[in-house]
Structure 1
Amino acid sequence: MDKNILVFPCGSEIGLEINNALKFAKGINLIGGSSIADHGKYVYKNYIENIPNIDDPGFIDAINKVIEEEKIDFIFPAHDSVVLKLSQHQEEVKAVVLTSDQYTSEICRSKKKTYELFDGETFNPHMYSHVNEVDQYPVFLKPNVGQGSKGVALANSKEEAEYYLDKNSDLLILEYLPGKEYTIDCFTDRHGTLRFSGMRERRRIKTGISVNSQTIPMEDSVKKIAEKINETLNLRGMWFFQVKEDAHGNYKLLEIAPRIAGTMNLFRNKGINFPLLTVFDRLGYDVEIIENDYAVEVDRAFTNRFNLDLEFERVYIDFDDTVTLGDKVNPYVMMFIYQCLAKDIELILITKHVHEIRDTLRKLKIDENIFKEIVHIKKEDFKHIYFNHDKKSIFIDDSYQERKQIHDEFGLPVFDLDAIESLIDWRY
């Protein structure tokens, strides 16, 4: 297959999910693109910075230059505004944009157009055309164009509503929906058939992003909403919509988006890889979908990724309480060890292990050939005696005294287990 796919902007939550979904996919080469320095540079092996903002007059020419230089086949837009921009200029863009058509993208980008399109449907929230029409408070105010929770407000009186509307006349006045909020992740194939829809509860939300979510069984009434949306718009590939319960427990539409959602990772971990399905569909494949029968919960927190101003060709590493964790193998350290092997970095195991080290390695299913050299020394020996200086090296050991001795003797960078995370390269 061998397809080059540009993800732009790659550092958004959407772009990071696309990376997680496709980074190991056979025949797919991901290129992350960004207008500014962002988290994408820490996870995309191939990364391009300083692509102009979509509002720049030269954006289309610039993106086409990237397409030509990197031989891009597909573009995954990873922001609502980028979805709209690229869908509007698909004929000018020299790669296939993986989203729905211009009409659908324009409807979805405007909450007002979305609600007007589904006017009369029982799942459509009531939208007031003017504050004087409001017959019941509170009401919910949100921008016609926007994402997340930016610019939204809850007005408990006419005075409060007028205050917010004076600050932003673009706000829509909507019925207040006090119930739980849900996202429905969907996939529509090139024939227009809704092949999958899955429901997840947005349990905890921070800055508009669902930071705790869980898959739940699909409600029949919500399934019908998905089918109605699918037959009304020209959706293709991955898309999602959000609903919220009104005061009577009825599901009302919040928004629709013809793109990947960051929390689609829930269904990816049930076997439904939306980005990959979308790519296969564009290649003309008739896909089959298998959903594993279990619930999945995801919880998000800030994740650390590091960039050290450090190069090394050799790692000296301790064994007890470093490669091992209790009487087991430390899987996090082993991940770093295999990363070193992939990068042709030498590994020297240096240990005061009380048993025959090769026997212990065999018991733990660790191949001794992982290490270029195994240095088994006595308890009273000094490790620094066995260090060579012909290559740039680092030292990893859980013992402060061992680290201090090596650092004082050679000035080498030394690491305890808590700092190994800074040595992990997440770019695939």
Structure 2
Amino acid sequence: MDKKILVFPCGSEIGLEINNALKFVKGVTLIGGSSVDDHGKYVYKNYIDGFPNIEDDQFINFLNEIISERNIDYIFPAHDSVVLKLAQHQDKIAAEVLTSPKETCEICRSKKKTYEYFEGKDFNPTMYNSLDDVDTYPVFLKPDVGQGSKGVALASNQAEALQHLQRDNDLLVLEYLPGKEYTIDCFTDRHGQLRFSGMRERRRVKSGISVNSHTIPLDATVKKMAHSINDAMVFRGMWFFQVKEDQHGHFKLLEIAPRIAGTMNLFRNQGVNFPLLTLFDRMNFEVDIIQNNYKLEVDRAFTNRFKVDLEYDRVYIDFDDTITLGEKVNPYVMMFIYQCLSQDKELILITKHIHDIKETLKALKIDESIFNEIIHITKTDMKHTYFSTDKKSIFIDDSYNERKQIVQAHGFPVFDIDAIESLIDWRN
């Protein structure tokens, strides 16, 4: 397998999850694309900016030029509007779009169309045609087309509801669902068979994104709902739907989306890799799914990624309290060390370790051959006198005094342990 996959827009939470899911897959080359300057360039080694907005008349032409230049086989759309746009223009796009058919995408993009499509189903929430039809308050108002929690409102009486509708008369008026919210991640193969459905609770949501979620056993009613939705619509590959409990504890449908969800990482870490399953199914492989049987919780927060304007060929690094953390190895520092090895950077260990450094390395299962040179000096020696200036170098040491001496003697960039994060290259 040697497939090139364009992820667009690659800096969305969806695009970042696709990267995490596929970046280590043998035979897959990921290419990130974006219309705006976003986080994708810190994550995708192959990154293309300057895409037109999807509503631009030249978007499809630009996309096809990229497909031709990069020999792209598949496109993973990573935003709801992009899913719909690419599905509607699949016949004009020179690569296969990894989503469900156009008709499914059109229904799913509109909550009104979704609720009308499932009219009469017991899991469908009540949608009021006008405020005169409302028999009980509060009611929930939300945009027909949108994502996250943008534009939503809760009205406790008719006057409040009217006020919101005067600002935006396209808002849908729906029954209020006060209970817990859940997402059900699904995979349907090319034969139309629902091969997997997993339930997770959205315990904390920020800007419409689930930032804390955990897996729970699939409720029998929700399982039946998943099959009902799958039987009523044509899906291909990954998709998900969201439900919320009404005042009686019954599950009601919120929305359906024929795409990857960022928090599908929960099931991926149980063995269910939705982007990979979708890719294999599109390649007409018969897939098998093994899910590890344990509860899993994810909590998400802002993560730092850096672009450092620094070139270096050699790394001088301390041992005690730098490579080591207490009496054990610091795994974060070792990650950086192995990054240096993969980038053919020279590694020089310089240490005042009081024991035989080679014996200590051996005891910690660190191969001494990792280092191009090991400089073992005494407590009274000055490290800067052992440095060479023939290559661009950096110095890593937990000691402020050691770092200060190096700056004064050679002017090398110096790093404490906390700053190593800026040296890690996360692009894949």
- TM-score over 0.5 for the alignment? yes
2:107 is the counterpart of 1:104: no
Secondary structure of 2:378's counterpart equals coil
CA apart distance, 1:35: 0.4
In 2, Cα distance between equivalents of 1:285 and 1:168? 47
CA apart distance, 1:132: 1.5
Letter paired with 2:393? S
2:156 is the counterpart of 1:131: no
Letter paired with 1:370? I
2:386 is the counterpart of 1:386: yes
Instruction: Name the counterpart of 1:182.
Output: 182
Instruction: Name the counterpart of 2:2.
Output: 2
In 2, Cα distance between equivalents of 1:226 and 1:26? 32
In 1, Cα distance between equivalents of 2:32 and 2:182? 30
Instruction: Name the counterpart of 1:269.
Output: 269
**Structure 2 residues not aligned, in runs of 5+:** none
CA apart distance, 1:22: 0.1
Q: Over residues 68-95 of structure 1, what are the superposed CA-to-partner deviations in whole Å (9 max), with x where a residue is unaligned?
A: 0110000000000000000000000000
CA apart distance, 1:169: 1.0
Instruction: Name the counterpart of 1:13.
Output: 13
In 2, Cα distance between equivalents of 1:217 and 1:74? 33
In 1, Cα distance between equivalents of 2:108 and 2:233? 9
Secondary structure of 1:113's counterpart equals helix
2:167 is the counterpart of 1:167: yes
In 2, Cα distance between equivalents of 1:169 and 1:347? 64
In 2, Cα distance between equivalents of 1:131 and 1:389? 77
Q: Over residues 13-50 of structure 1, what are the superposed CA-to-partner deviations in whole Å (9 max), with x where a residue is unaligned?
A: 00000000000001100000000111000010100001
In 2, Cα distance between equivalents of 1:358 and 1:168? 71
Instruction: Name the counterpart of 1:351.
Output: 351
In 2, Cα distance between equivalents of 1:405 and 1:162? 70
In 2, Cα distance between equivalents of 1:411 and 1:161? 65
Q: Is the 8 A contact 2:389 2:410 kept in 1?
A: no
2:254 is the counterpart of 1:254: yes
Secondary structure of 2:92's counterpart equals coil
Secondary structure of 2:401's counterpart equals helix
Instruction: Name the counterpart of 1:198.
Output: 198
Q: Over residues 355-378 of structure 1, what are the superposed CA-to-partner deviations in whole Å (9 max), with x where a residue is unaligned?
A: 010000000000000000000001
Q: Over residues 304-326 of structure 1, what are the superposed CA-to-partner deviations in whole Å (9 max), with x where a residue is unaligned?
A: 00001101100000000000000
Instruction: Name the counterpart of 2:55.
Output: 55
Instruction: Name the counterpart of 1:66.
Output: 66
1:19-418 → structure 2 map (5 Å cutoff): 19-418=19-418
Q: Is the 8 A contact 2:241 2:257 kept in 1?
A: yes
| CA RMSD of superposed structures (Å) | 0.4
Q: TM-score, normalised by structure 1?
A: 1.00
Q: Over residues 242-297 of structure 1, what are the superposed CA-to-partner deviations in whole Å (9 max), with x where a residue is unaligned?
A: 00000000000000000000000000000000000000000000100001000100
Q: Is the 8 A contact 2:5 2:31 kept in 1?
A: yes
CA apart distance, 1:420: 0.4
Please say which of residues 209-218 and 403-412 is displaced more in the overlay.
403-412
In 2, Cα distance between equivalents of 1:342 and 1:196? 38
CA apart distance, 1:64: 0.4
Q: Is the 8 A contact 2:9 2:34 kept in 1?
A: yes
Letter paired with 2:270? K
Letter paired with 1:65? E
Please say which of residues 406-415 and 242-251 is displaced more in the overlay.
406-415
Q: Over residues 349-407 of structure 1, what are the superposed CA-to-partner deviations in whole Å (9 max), with x where a residue is unaligned?
A: 00000001000000000000000000000100000000011110000000000000101
Secondary structure of 1:91's counterpart equals helix
Q: Over residues 121-146 of structure 1, what are the superposed CA-to-partner deviations in whole Å (9 max), with x where a residue is unaligned?
A: 00000000011111111000000000
CA apart distance, 1:170: 1.1
Letter paired with 2:338? Y
In 2, Cα distance between equivalents of 1:39 and 1:292? 31
Letter paired with 1:259? R
Secondary structure of 2:91's counterpart equals coil
In 2, Cα distance between equivalents of 1:193 and 1:106? 21
Report percent identity of matched pairs.
72
In 1, Cα distance between equivalents of 2:5 and 2:230? 26
In 2, Cα distance between equivalents of 1:168 and 1:419? 48
Letter paired with 1:347? L
Secondary structure of 1:264's counterpart equals helix
In 2, Cα distance between equivalents of 1:117 and 1:347? 63
In 2, Cα distance between equivalents of 1:70 and 1:136? 56
Q: Over residues 167-213 of structure 1, what are the superposed CA-to-partner deviations in whole Å (9 max), with x where a residue is unaligned?
A: 11110000000000000000000000000000000000000000000
Secondary structure of 2:72's counterpart equals coil
Letter paired with 2:137? Y
Please say which of residues 8-17 and 401-410 is displaced more in the overlay.
401-410
In 1, Cα distance between equivalents of 2:409 and 2:139? 69
In 1, Cα distance between equivalents of 2:262 and 2:215? 14
Secondary structure of 1:265's counterpart equals helix
Letter paired with 1:91? D
In 1, Cα distance between equivalents of 2:145 and 2:310? 44
